[in-house]
Structure 1
Amino acid sequence: MTAYRVNPYIKLALGMCIIGSFVVVNKVLSASVPIFLASGIRLFIGALVLNAMLWYKERAFPRLSRRDFLIVFIQSFVGVFLFSFCLLYGLKFTSAVESGIITSTTPAVIGLISFLFFKEKLAAHQLTGIALALAGALVINVFGILSGSEWSLSLWGNLLIFGAVIGEAVFMTFGKLLSADLSPLASAALTSTIGCVLFLSVSLVQAAQFEIMAAAPLTWGLLVYTGVVVTVIAVLLLNQAMVQIPAGSSAAFSGLMPVSAVVLSYAALHEPIHWYHVVGILFVLAGILSISRRKRAEVSGEGQQKPVSL
């Protein structure tokens, strides 16, 4: 019983950390590969792997009702296409500090969507966890500004990053509207495939103007990473976790995205970590600990919930 209670939170935490790494990886990729082409390649690789896994495991592709298809398409358009577009272009128009502050609102947006669309009553420990995670993410970024970073009001870039926040929030919550018989693997394969199709036309145009086959080995390695680790592994981890975890509880864990981005920026890009980064990370971890303290009765009912999908 203990493993059943812990495993979903471990999966959710790992999935959010991988999404945080996606931000860092794309800082490198966006300097050498056109945005639509990079996203198209990522989703093409992910769709191939996920559909192969789906056929191997379930021996059939799911038949969707009109309602399920509409939900999957909305998820694909908002949570895959618009998320990638807004995040990658937003990072070009605004600073990392500004984008970090805006992504810090993700827990609050997820909690709001959970309340408005799923009528989830947030318990005290959930509200506390969301507040702590939001406070931690804000500490990381606000004290970064006060320590000497410049605040350039790039309205267009800021709006794009907030669009990515909405896309992630939809990804983390709206899959609960899908039919219970649609597996997490099937929903992940469908959304990746539809997302690939949405990026296809512009990706082909950019591919014709860019010598992708001459790209450096590091570039190809990062593209494969985003296709396999981000699009396949992270999505499956989040889908499997959200079968058992209410959407409101996932809000605090989304705070791991900016935290992991800070840590990976230090490790991979050699950006400095300051005291306020450490304090912010501790706040987020405290929020996750608060959310994870669920009563046994709550955990026993989690299996009745539907999977989320990207």
Structure 2
Amino acid sequence: MERFAGVLFLLGAFTLAGTSVIAGRFVVATLGTFTITVVSLFFALLGLLPLCGRKLGQSIWQMAQRDWASLFIQALFGIFLFRMFLLQGLLHTSAGEAGILTGATPATTVLLAWMLLKEPLDRIRFLGIISTVTGIVVLQGLFSPDIVFSTEHLIGNVLVLCAAMCESVFNVLSRFSSVKSALRSAQVLDPIVQTTLVVIIALLLCLGPALTEHPAAALLSLSIVGWAALVWYGLFVTALAFILWYAGIKRCDAAVAAAFSGMMPFTAMILSVLLLNEQPGWQQWLGGLLVVLGMVLTGLKVRSPKRQESCCI
């Protein structure tokens, strides 16, 4: 039952995370990267703080120095760097293609989990990594000489890939922190409290860079659609998605989380067609199919002949 609940939490988290590409597209041409992040995190806190109540103060009082270090790294990679690379990438590439490229997250997560957490990397998961890499190469037009992307477009794609790698680091570090807390019988933070603390840390990290973007004038000129995108980015892409993520990663290993991170490119691709009227070519669809195949393969459960492993802590 715990494993099933973890799967549902992860599914919801990454489906919401996939909408970040679309929400960012509505505001990235008007607002600076860090301004978008700060305002969306502010809206996230407005939704999170009433849910925390007294638990926030009690948890802060009981946290050790290593817990703060772990939360800082999660905020750095999961929000600050991820959004910086993603939003900068969206200035140079399409939302649909950016969404597909976030599908590199499962492969890089599995590799990091294998190296850092000693989670198994069998033949099927290795094939999943190969499929993901091939899909990304196809997206770049390397197999079709008649399709040439501009340097700016390629730079945008590289920035989105950097965002995917940051997401992978965040996934593995979150799982590592959860496992370590369980092993030393330490207090496991409530998902809402953990999300709130990570959001506060990320907000502090982004505040200085946001002020250099002179955000006041841009915010005053923002349309209703832009403000709605920021509210969605804060309350759903940040607050709710992170709560679901922390609830799920406490119950499942990093490889299972890697599989569901493939919902990000799938959601972004579909919404880019429905909401932004983007029309991906055959190369984008083929590359996306290979990335999705890689997602499925890397997420398959590895079972040892000697013992059956469980993804639950």
What band does the TM-score fall into relative to the shorter chain? 0.7 to 0.9
Q: Give the paired residue count.
A: 299
Give the Cα–Cα distance (whole angstroms) in 1 for the partners of residues 41 and 83 of structure 2: 10
Q: Who is 1:184 aligned against? A: 191
Name the counterpart of 1:298: 309
Q: Which residue of 2 aligns with 1:32?
A: 30
Aligned partner of residue 121 in structure 1, secondary structure:
coil
Of stretches 78-87 and 49-58 in structure 1, the one that deviates more from structure 2 is 49-58
Cα 1:29–1:283 shift into 2, 3 Å: same
**CA RMSD, Structure 1 to Structure 2 (Å):** 3.3
Q: Report if the CA contact (8 A) 1:43-1:192 is conserved.
A: yes
**1:161 aligned onto 2:160:** yes
Can you list the C-alpha shifts for 1:150-181, whole angstroms capped at 9, x where unaligned? 32234654443232122101221101232242
CA contact (8 A) 1:129 1:288 kept: yes
8 Å CA contact 1:133–1:288 kept in 2: the answer is yes
- 8 Å contact from structure 1 (residues 130, 252) kept in 2: no
Q: Does 1:195 align with 2:202?
A: yes
| Structure 1 position 258 matched with structure 2 position 265 | yes
Asked if 2 retains the 8 angstrom alpha-carbon contact of 1:122 and 1:248, the reply is no
* 1:77-96 alignment, distance < 5 Å: 77-94=76-93
TM superposition shift of 1:90? 2.1
When residues 67 and 170 of structure 1 are mapped into structure 2, their CA distance, relative to the original with a 3 A threshold, is same
- Matches of 1:217 and 1:56 in 2, distance apart? 35
Amino acid at match of 1:29: V
Classify 1:289/1:52 alpha carbon distance in 2 versus 1 (closer, same or farther; 3 Å): same
SS in structure 2 of the partner of residue 105 of structure 1: helix
Q: Distance in 1 between matches of 2:279 and 2:142?
A: 11
**Structure 2: gaps spanning 5 or more residues:** 183-187
Matches within 5 A, 1:91-102: 91-94=90-93, 99=98, 102=101
**Structure-to-structure mapping, 1:47-196, within 5 angstroms:** 47-55=45-53, 60-62=58-60, 63-94=62-93, 99=98, 102-123=101-122, 126-127=125-126, 141=139, 146=144, 149-154=147-152, 156-178=155-177, 179-180=181-182, 181-196=188-203
* Worse-matched range after superposition: 29-38 or 190-199: 29-38
Which of residues 194, 217, 221 is equivalent to 2:224?
217
Q: CA deviation at 1:12?
A: 1.6
Q: Give the deviation of 1:274 after TM superposition.
A: 5.7
SS in 1 for 2:206: helix
State the match for 2:14 in structure 1. Answer: 16
1:126-169: CA deviation from partner (whole Å, max 9, x where unpaired): 55666666666766x36798496532234654443232122101
Paired AA for residue 224 in structure 1 = V
Which whole-Å CA distance do the structure 2 matches of 1:145 and 1:269 have between them? 27
When structure 1 is superposed on structure 2, of 16-25 and 127-136 the one drifting more is 127-136
Gaps of 5+ in 1: 305-310
Shift of 1:200: 1.1
CA distance in 1, matches of 2:96, 2:81: 21
Percent of aligned positions that are identical: 30
Match of 1:238 in 2: 245
Task: Tell me, in whole angstroms, the C-alpha distance in 2 between the residues paired with 1:73 and 1:83.
Answer: 14
Aligned partner of 1:193: which letter?
A: I
Paired residue secondary structure (1:120): coil
> In 1, distance between residues paired with 2:64 and 2:242?
22
The CA deviation string for residues 29-73 of structure 1, in whole angstroms up to 9 with x for no partner, is 112222211111011221332233222666734332111111111
Structure 1 residues 57 and 68, CA gap change in structure 2 (3 angstroms): closer
Amino acid at match of 2:233: T
Q: Distance in 2 between matches of 1:147 and 1:233?
A: 43
CA distance in 1, matches of 2:192, 2:103: 29
Give the structure 2 partner of residue 248 of structure 1: 255
CA–CA separation in structure 1 for the residues paired with 2:146 and 2:260: 29
Asked whether the equivalents of residues 262 and 277 of structure 1 are also in contact (C-alpha less than 8 Å), the reply is: no
| Residue 233 (structure 2) aligned to one of 210, 218, 226 | 226
